[in-house]
Structure 1
């Protein structure tokens, strides 16, 4: 792979948005004449359906296995029917059941995907072949924002071809949405589910509907969905110190939090499509709007034992239990909101021109990401406290009057002051995309071949604030104690401080009335202003032989970007040449060997790439973004052996390796001061933020089994099935100072199993997921945070009713999630010093589906 960097001093040139209609006109120009042209080879477009209607699990698995078997690259597929048979609310849950895919959760809910256990930044997400920018930072996709109802099938490409985005180090996930022509006439499906989150008795609900109609030449579909989950999250955060010589633990502080959250994702969209009679052509318009909203109430107390001991002229005695006659207390209350949204619209056409079959797409996608956290922060409280962290999953704190053994509660604490803390961030991205793919048959070396070529032009603008916060005096006219409801926390942990729930929304309303606008002025060092153009061209051939086929080609991506800051701006251009080759060998009719080699990249996020930073010219220090970051570059190899045991059974084993250069991580290094301050050229300044490290690697082995008992023992155990996949990983990268870490998000072991039984009407499925410890972040060389191993047990029961209502086929279902009542633990450096413990309880949902 070759990378060319052009001097940042050149003028940054952008193609104006006004030119996009011209591209569209060029792409569509051949359409009026195409019907008069010969359509000699209609084999160019191959459509494989991976959806079943009212079929049992076996048929759904067979459809997905058939697509995997016939694919020209290494991939896995989840069909729409399979998704419906798991208790999944969003695509992250669904993807987590694929081989080698692990989930990163927030307060128990699936959010990000570690494809092949790799950092989530290494995965590209597309909808119907068009990539979607990550709303949070321009790169990383959040899968909890997309509901399962939009999905016809999910394709997880583990070895990418030149026709796929180059920004896919670990893989490329394509969500195929519903096609109205899959049903003739009218078709409607609805899903209504209601349930409860056991911790806090919160509502869990699901409402979705999809309607379509198609005739001979015209079809349309519309859909909408809303998922809601109200829950209590128990959270305890700890500041512990481990003496490496004695292994004694010192308890410096304990942070006790109780969150009440209401999370909902909503989506709507549709598709209008025209297919001229007697041809393969089609013209369509599609739209998808999705929004994820997290409304969060926080009741939080922090007890600083070390600060109290220091005020007394001493220190905290080592030990997992103890009594501190003076500890300082802080209280934080909040009614905050996290929101991200995406709107993507596509105008498309598939048509033939002579021997060529072309697919043209014009797309506009906008994303929004917002965080608003207004926090009354009360500080300077004094208590005496005893503590016990011998059970790290339930740390105990009991409060007493300072310098005594007289019990008191958290509501009795008096604070020296209350501050008004407001945290705000936002990022808006506008993206326009033009994409043209062309395909034709030809003869290569005397063999039947297919040539694919095309180009894609992306233009994106990112504007926002990475983090803004203000701190001032809280309005004295508001007595926060008047908003104490007196209701004890809903909790599965010990509430030794007698924590109570405050009316946080009432406090916020009074705060706004007293202070007016709570918006925060954006600090200059946190501004994000990035303009990015990416031009990609590719060509590849697929050549068939008697023993299989070879797919080989080249993709070239040119990235032209400018990052603007308050003091300076930086423009650069990078070109990446990305070759790849895939060999698919049919060793026998039921045994396939796949070999692949390729290259890929991972560009910096917009937060990392921002030119805005905090500059201290006196100390010659800079903190913030780094517009000079280079893209991570990877070379990879894959090998897999697939044994197809029957119609709906298979066993596969795969090996993969990625060698990665320029790994991006958070650290400190020296830079040229002139990047941020004119006149400081040549001066060596200290920079703290994001840097390119040295080489890294990711290697693994994955085994996947899908077994239907009737395929192995015909006539016996009909309806019984089993799936299991396991991935073992090894990863590492070197920092600039020579320290080594595993790649963030990478577990050494991931496995996923499910056992199911089905009859004509009834299906039961029990699923278990496991991943061991993984690195969360590296804020600096000497500090690393890890999440401890996580386990999940889920159950789905579905029954097709033997009756129809108003002509609809009905089924009822029961979903049960987190049956093992998992506790999530994060630790710093070693498992002996956890810094966060979190639990949220089980939840259940019962519902009914109707298909017309």
Structure 2
């Protein structure tokens, strides 16, 4: 297609003199709001375009004459207006669509306006995408961007284990780390210190105007995004009908926390200048909430009662069972604080050039204090005579952790667009920064030595019951039996900075069949650093009684726990452990085991440069659109890490540098068939990437000299390949006049060299350089490597409709529902692991909702559900699963006046605290709990006022 496009003449001057442009703005006559996403047809020529930001649209290279503009916007009746185009000039036209339906008269506002806007933008899009729109300036019912996305077909969320809020999303069975995320066109910098995942609970939903999920990728989109790409967009003043000043005050309450929190947000937007050529939109939000929950945790691995090789399946006969050798339960008291701000400056320099500057800042601070117990079997030698009986004994720990985590994400982008004759030039530059800070992370445990090994009763699927002797059961309730056990203070920081520049050129040849030719280049530099520091590990004699750490008892009956009341530590002393421990070390009561270099050898810095270019074109033949081209991306990677050599005499640490590079060619084609304005049939074949995590590419080396003859070594792998996927999509969308749609899409993905998100597979290799450095040694080297191939295939079904044709109160009802059914398999290259499911890919995910909007009432009740999914590989060929989950959420808003409304939202309405919000288990059947979290329901309520 691109080669054929080269044969099209640039355009003769005689032709230029005889053609002009149609340029205009589309608004709703009833609300005066700009309408984006409308399909606009120049009837006499058949040319089609879509209204963009602010309702603006343009037809170029239109021969002089009189024409009819036909406007199609879901939710409003079709509308036509005449327009006369002079030769070599611009015809300006303002189109105000009457607010009428073909069946009944309505005013499209509120949640119906948001749904209509989203459906219109989805319909006119060149690729398969789903759009979530707010009502112009940002008012989502969900608390953060992840929870807003869970309504999209094929999207599932993973909740943060402690706070219970949505954090990560998967698209079509692909983990968050395998997708692409942008804010205002800039790739989001990572705040997750160990993966390429993007935690979306950092971003408050009401700071956004629109979220787009791209499920098929065009050549002008980034290479990475095997599952898809997510574009988070803040608003523009040009999207407003008039000056906007909005305040929102909100309270929130969590069942278990029994504390009120609050949120305040404000938005200001207006246009300035004689021709309203300058737009300013500023928004800010502050949200503080308290959550309290319980976490039932197996923190290491399950082991069988009878000793065996962990790479072999377990024989469960003859009384064999699984035992968690590190098991506990506790509650966590969280205080979560979000700060968000955004600014958008838009300037129309003249009729052909517009400029913009957009910035966003999002910060999440999570302060967590946990209290509970752990039963820990000493791991030096778990088995005696082939039976579970830890040689070092088993301890019962009264344990607490205090952790302050701060995640900050900020972006700044400047750019513009200039039209010159038949060309449009788009240009932008941006900066993104993601920071993870953990300034305070303390763990303190006082322990008691139990009299024997501990087995468990699994008759309760959530709470394994430890089988303790009567003496031990009594002893663990007496604080005088406990002395200081494990404790730790760590400092972790990571930073990811991205510098991005992009230039695109679109050429309109004025052809009857070739719509445009487009090409562009992009540069992105990512600098990422991880710093981990060991601060304190205090050793010495310190009794619980008299130390100031006694905290009474913790009642676990809120969640139906069989453990009753358990000893806990004093929260105030835990929060001050840094100063308390420092003083005890200074007084000689305790001794700090960390001395010398406090830096952890896992620290590293890395630089990733990506150079990209693409060429694409769109051709239209009858009702068919063909969009195709190719993208090429070159990656250059450098990392500075450490090599650690461990001997009986200690550790020797030295710096180590690694480099790698690769080139990827990414062909992509999209075909759309539009036989009517309501029906779109789409097909796509495209390729995409997912790059390895920085830590896997870092050639950090750990060498342990076991004895005079043997060495065990672990080495990172800078030669890891990006995962490369072929993606195929076929589906149809039928749009209903009553603000609705029915759609079905089938998809298939074949992924070569896929990458594990949390932990890469490991295998043995030979490294000649190590053999030369250590002659005479037998060296066993482990490294990370790519998986072989994974496959994902499935079908997405969606239906939404507003029953506007019904009379009376019934005309306010609406529904939306979607379900995605998918199957996955992965050949990970390990023995006994053929055909396992892909990670974080539930077999089904969906939403069913009932909505209402009339008489000033806006309401919805949404039931969201997802199936179980593979979390990670486990020992003894028993893998770890996230069990199925569902939630019922509700929202009710009432417009007291045209400018003021009150609302109440209930999140997880059916959660009485007895069912977990997160339920991870060893084994798909769910018998052995891994990580079970109970949070209870949350209610928010507030008032919104506009001026």
Structure 2 CA distance for partners of 1:266 and 1:489, relative to 1, 3 Å? farther
For 1:459, what is the secondary structure of its paired residue?
A: strand
Whether contact under 8 Å (2:216, 2:729) holds in the other structure is yes
CA contact (8 A) 2:483 2:544 kept: no
Cα distance, 1:493 vs. partner? 3.2
Distance 1:773-1:398 versus aligned 2 partners, 3 A rule: same
Q: In 1, Cα distance between the equivalents of 2:565 and 2:763?
A: 46
State the Cα deviation string for residues 760-812 of structure 1 (Å, max 9, x = none).
Answer: 3002211111111111123678352111111111111111113x7xxxx1111
Q: Report 1:94-243 matches (<5 A).
A: 94-107=148-161, 108-136=164-192, 137=194, 139-183=196-240, 186-215=243-272, 216-238=276-298, 239=302, 241=304
d(CA) in 2 for partners of 1:683 and 1:696? Answer: 38
Give the Å deviation of 1:353. Answer: 3.5
2:495 equivalent in structure 1: 428
Per-residue Cα deviation, 1:613-640 (whole angstroms, up to 9, x for no partner): 3222554433364322111111110011
Per-residue CA shift, 1:30-58, capped at 9, x if unaligned?
xxxxxxxx996869995156999981433
Give the structure-2-normalised TM-score.
0.78
SS of alignment partner, residue 800 of structure 2: strand
Aligned counterpart, 2:820: 727
| Equivalent residues in 2 for 1:202-601, closer than 5 Å | 202-215=259-272, 216-238=276-298, 239=302, 241=304, 244-245=316-317, 249-252=321-324, 254-276=327-349, 278-304=350-376, 328-371=395-438, 372-382=440-450, 388-396=457-465, 402=471, 407=474, 410=477, 412=479, 414-443=481-510, 446-465=512-531, 471-473=537-539, 476=542, 482-486=548-552, 488-489=554-555, 491-494=558-561, 496-515=563-582, 523=599, 525-567=601-643, 568-601=656-689
| Matched-pair contact (CA < 8 Å) for 1:580–1:599 | yes
- TM superposition shift of 1:813: 0.6
Correspondent of 2:714 among 623, 647, 651 = 623
User: 2:863 corresponds to which residue?
Assistant: 768
- Structure 2 unmatched ranges of 5 or more: 1-18, 25-48, 56-73, 76-106, 305-313, 586-591, 644-655
Could you tell me which runs of 5 or more consecutive residues in structure 1 were left unpaired when the two chains were aligned.
Answer: 1-37, 318-325
- Judged with a 3 Å threshold, the aligned counterparts in structure 2 of structure 1 residues 415 and 613 are, in CA distance, closer, same or farther, namely farther
Equivalent position SS for 1:442: coil
Which deviates more from structure 2 when the two are superposed, residues 780-789 or residues 690-699? 780-789
Q: For the Cα contact (< 8 Å) 1:674–1:683, is it kept in 2?
A: no
Q: Distance in 2 between matches of 1:505 and 1:210?
A: 39
Residue 306 of structure 1 deviates from its aligned partner by 9.5
Greater Cα radius of gyration, structure 1 or 2: 2
**The one of 794, 818, 833 aligned to 1:700:** 794
CA distance in 2, matches of 1:383, 1:257: 23
Q: Residues 824-839 of structure 1 correspond to what in structure 2 (within 5 A)? A: 824-830=918-924, 831-839=926-934
CA displacement at 1:240 relative to structure 2:
7.2
Distance 2:319 2:754 in 1: 33
Output one character per residue of 1:600-621: Cα deviation in whole Å (capped at 9) or x when no partner. 1100112222222322255443
| CA-atom RMSD in angstroms | 3.5
Residue 572 of structure 1: how far off its partner (Å)? 1.5
Deviations 1:373-404 (A, max 9, x none): 2111333433798965312224456977636x
With a CA cutoff of 8 Å and minimum separation of 6, indicate the structure with the bigger relative contact order: 1
- Partner Cα distance (1:49, 1:247) in 2: 70
Change (3 A) 1:226 1:39: farther
Distance 1:66 1:207 in 2: 31
Tell me, yes or no, if the aligned pair for 1:100 and 1:115 is still in contact at 8 Å.
yes
Instruction: Report the CA distance shift for 1:233/1:336 in structure 2 as closer, same or farther (over 3 A).
Output: same
Alignment match, 2:52:
47
Q: Residues 206 and 678 of structure 1: is their aligned pair in 2 closer, same or farther, counting only changes over 3 Å?
A: farther
SS of residue in 2 equivalent to 1:584? strand
**Does the 8 A contact of 2:548 with 2:573 survive in 1?**
no
- Cα distance, 1:647–1:436 mapped onto 2, change above 3 Å: farther
In the superposition, the TM-score normalised over structure 1's length comes to 0.86
State which drifts further: 265-274 or 113-122. Answer: 265-274
Question: Quick one: structure 1 residues 314 and 357, their matched pair in 2 at CA, closer, same or farther if it must change by over 3 Å?
Answer: closer
SS in 2 for 1:279: coil
Q: Is the 8 A contact 1:85 1:798 kept in 2?
A: no
Equivalent residues of 2:701, 2:713 under 8 A apart:
yes
Paired with 1:114 and 1:791, the residues of 2 have a C-alpha distance of 16
Aligned to 1:93: 147
For 1:525 and 1:675, how far apart are their aligned partners in 2?
A: 21
Mapped partners of 2:343, 2:136: distance in 1? 22
CA-to-aligned-CA distance 1:214-262 (integer Å, 9 cap, x gap): 1122222222112223111211124575853368645555411111111
What are the residue-to-residue correspondences of 1:578-727 with 2, within 5 Å? Answer: 578-618=666-706, 619-623=710-714, 625-665=716-756, 666-673=760-767, 679=773, 686-688=780-782, 690-710=784-804, 717-727=810-820
User: Which piece of structure 1 moves more, 696-705 or 608-617?
Assistant: 608-617
The reply to whether residue 818 of structure 1 matches residue 885 of structure 2 is: no
Q: Is the 8 A contact 2:398 2:447 kept in 1?
A: yes
- CA-CA distance at 1:86 after TM superposition: 5.8
How has the CA–CA distance of structure 1 residues 378 and 165 changed in structure 2, closer, same or farther, with 3 Å as cutoff?
same
Q: Structure 1: how far apart are the matches of 2:468 and 2:553? A: 18
CA deviation profile, 1:197-217 (whole Å, cap 9, x unmatched): 001313343221111221122
Out of 611-620 and 767-776, give the one that drifted further. Answer: 611-620
Contact 1:255 1:303 in 2 (8 A): yes
Q: What is the alpha-carbon distance in structure 2 between the residues aligned to residue 176 and residue 285 of structure 1?
A: 13
Provide the residue aligned with 1:26 in structure 2. none
Alpha-carbon displacement from aligned partner over 1:808-844 (angstroms, at most 9, x marks no partner)? x111111101112141321113422222222110111
Instruction: State the 1:515 CA deviation.
Output: 1.1
1:236 and 1:395 in contact (8 A); partners too: no
Instruction: Provide closer, same or farther for how the CA distance between residues 90 and 582 of structure 1 changes in structure 2, counting only shifts above 3 A.
Output: same
Following TM superposition, by how much is the alpha carbon of 1:436 offset from its aligned partner in structure 2, in angstroms? 1.3
Post-superposition offset of 1:680: 6.5
Separation in 1, partners of 2:770, 2:437: 27
Mapped contact 1:450–1:541 kept (Cα < 8 A): yes
User: Counterparts of 1:309 and 1:672 in 2: how far apart (Å)?
Assistant: 30
TM-superposed CA distance for 1:299, in Å, is: 1.0
Q: For the residues of structure 2 that align with 1:492 and 1:83, how far apart are their CA atoms?
A: 40
8 Å CA contact 1:334, 1:504 repeated in 2: no
Secondary structure of 2:114's counterpart equals helix
Contact persistence 2:446–2:482 (CA under 8 A): yes
Question: Secondary structure, in 3 states, of the residue corresponding to 2:548?
Answer: helix
- Checking the alignment, whether the CA contact within 8 Å between 1:74 and 1:159 is kept in structure 2 is yes
CA distance in 1, matches of 2:174, 2:459: 34
Answer whether contact 2:637 2:661 (CA < 8 A) is retained.
yes
Distance 1:56 1:286, change over 3 A: closer
**What SS is found at the alignment partner of 1:746?**
coil
Q: 1:724 to 1:686 in 2, by over 3 A?
A: farther
Deviates more, 1:673-682 or 1:577-586: 673-682
| Number of positions where the alignment pairs a residue of Structure 1 with one of Structure 2 | 797
Change (3 A) 1:451 1:468: farther
- Report how far residue 298 of structure 1 moved: 1.4
1:251–1:559 distance in 2 versus 1, CA, 3 Å: closer
Shift of residue 664 of structure 1?
Answer: 1.8
